[in-house]
Amino acid sequence: MKKKGKQIQRKPKSQVLEKKEIEWTNLGRFKLFLVFLGIVLVFVFFIKNSMQERETEYNLVKSDYKITRAIITKMFVYKGKTIRVRFKVAGKTYSGSDGMFKRKSKDVGDSIYVKYYLKDPNLFITELNKKYDSSSN
């Protein structure tokens, strides 16, 4: 049984692969500029927002904290200098990461001091963070 209908005529490959020049108009350049500007502004917004959020966390810890010992579980010194720690408060284990300003010859498995917010121990500052000393009352 044959299908009835229109037959599709294929163009030779030489006609399909024609190269067309793109001509930029001022409106096109302006639209491209707006797209790039939008991308940059989104990044700036997220960076600024995360910095403000972290500053708020430091202020909370500074307002009502307790000091305990934590174990270093991972260190990232290549890009960003971050430390990951684990500590216990009232029988519950907490873990998280914090910035590492000074190395102090510490390594994975060593213990360090941590100031944590009494109402939420998930908010903490390690002794390797530059804000640790300035968060004292």
What is the 3-class SS of 77-128, one letter each residue?
CCCCCEEEEEEEECCEEEEEEEECCCCCCCCCCCEEEEEEECCEEEEEEECC
Amino acid in position 112: I
How remote is the C-alpha of 49 from its chain's centroid? 11
Residues 56, 116: Cα–Cα separation, whole Å: 14
Instruction: Note the pLDDT of residue 133.
Output: 77
Over residues 96-125, the mean pLDDT reads: 86
Which band of pLDDT confidence, cut at 50, 70 and 90, is reported for residue 40?
very high
Q: Which residue has the higher pLDDT, 1 or 121?
A: 121
At residue 135, the pLDDT reads: 47
Using an 8 Å Cβ cutoff, are 63 and 95 in contact? no
Closest C-alpha among 101, 2, 120 to residue 61: 120
Residue type, 51: M
Q: How confident is the model at residue 16 (pLDDT cuts 50, 70, 90)?
A: low
Evaluate whether 124 touches 86 at the Cβ level (below 8 Å). Answer: no
By the 10 Å C-beta count (0-12 exposed, 13-18 middle, 19+ buried), 106 is classed as: middle
Closest CA to 62 of 112, 116, 99, 114: 116
What global pTM score does this model have?
0.61
> Number of helices and strands (H, E) in the chain?
3, 5
